[in-house]
Amino acid sequence: MPGYLVEDTRKVTTKRLAEMKSAGKKIAMLTAYDYTTARIVDAAGVDVVLIGDSASNVMAGNATTLPATIEQMIYHARSVVRGVERALVVCDMPFGSYQVSAEEAVRNAIRIMKETSCDALKLEGGIEILPAVERILDAGIPVCGHLGLTPQSINKFGTYAVRAREDAEAEKLFHDAKLLAAAGCFAVVVEKIPAALTQRVVKALPIPVIGIGGGPADGQVLVIDDMLGKNRGFSPKFLRRYADLYGIMTDAIGQYVTDVKSGDFPNAEESY
């Protein structure tokens, strides 16, 4: 059944996501950064819309997510929230907005919630950011964790290769996931880790585990520009392309250019 024929049209909540995990129903999560796309993503039946700081890459053309600012995330999140009726809307806290202190983290979290009306926030990291996660949860803000290949730490990793292949890193990730769940996070994203480790985490955690490059999990997330094939240069093994928007858009825009230059557009019916 296509996603857009979802039977349950009620607003998705963190409680519903927990019920979906218990019932063995998979969760579909996808990024969006603007109003028009958010409307389409929501209408197509996506359960969770993420305003990812991947906006720094795909919207702004930066090499990493590190330059994303709170103001930029708020701008994107406000646009997305206006376009979504059903999905749970989660906004990434950008690099630098939660690492300095738990105090500053909760202040920034409250600002993002107030100024965007999104439903929840996502933070990258485990035990290192636990005090920040706990303070934000104490403020009544739902938090989604993010472990494995956490792009805000790319300069520490030095590579976008698969994480947690070695026992020590795998054990740390497993421990971090349990800490985040015990703290009260409503879900955890695991990025680019071995499928067997994802399965361990899925089985151990009472909350949904959402994978990206982590094999089967309680749900999956992708960056919308990647799965729609807008960027032909990015093709990691985990990415399934559902369209070739680069090709479709180039053909359409090329045709427009041809029609304008030939004088074919606008014709009499397209004129007042």
Binding interface with ligand KIV (CB under 6 A): 31, 50, 52-54, 92, 189, 212, 221, 223
Element (H, E) at 191: strand 187-191
Q: Supply the minimum distance, in Å, between the C-beta of residue 142 and ligand KIV.
A: 16
Q: Which lies closer to ligand KIV via its Cβ, residue 45 or residue 151?
A: 151
Nearer to ligand KIV, 180 or 223 (CB): 223
CB within 8 Å of 105: residues ≥ 6 apart: 93, 97, 98, 99, 123, 129, 132, 135, 136
Q: Is 259 helix (H, G, I), strand (E, B) or coil?
A: helix
Q: Which is closer to ligand KIV, CB of 136 or CB of 212?
A: 212
CA pair distance 219, 65, nearest whole angstrom: 23
Cβ proximity to ligand KIV, 189 vs 228, nearer residue:
189
Closest separation in Å from C-beta 1 to ligand KIV: 25
Catalytic annotation, pick one of 169, 191, 269, 270: 191
What tokens were used for 175? Answer: 């421990």
Q: Which residue, chain included where needed, has tokens 């919630």? A: 113
CB of 92 to ligand KIV, least distance (A): 5
Note whether 92 and 66 are within 8 A (CB): no
Residue facing ligand KIV at closest CB distance: 52
- Residue 101 has a CB neighbour count (10 Å cut-off) of 12
Is 171 considered catalytic here?
Answer: no
Residues labelled as active-site residues: 191
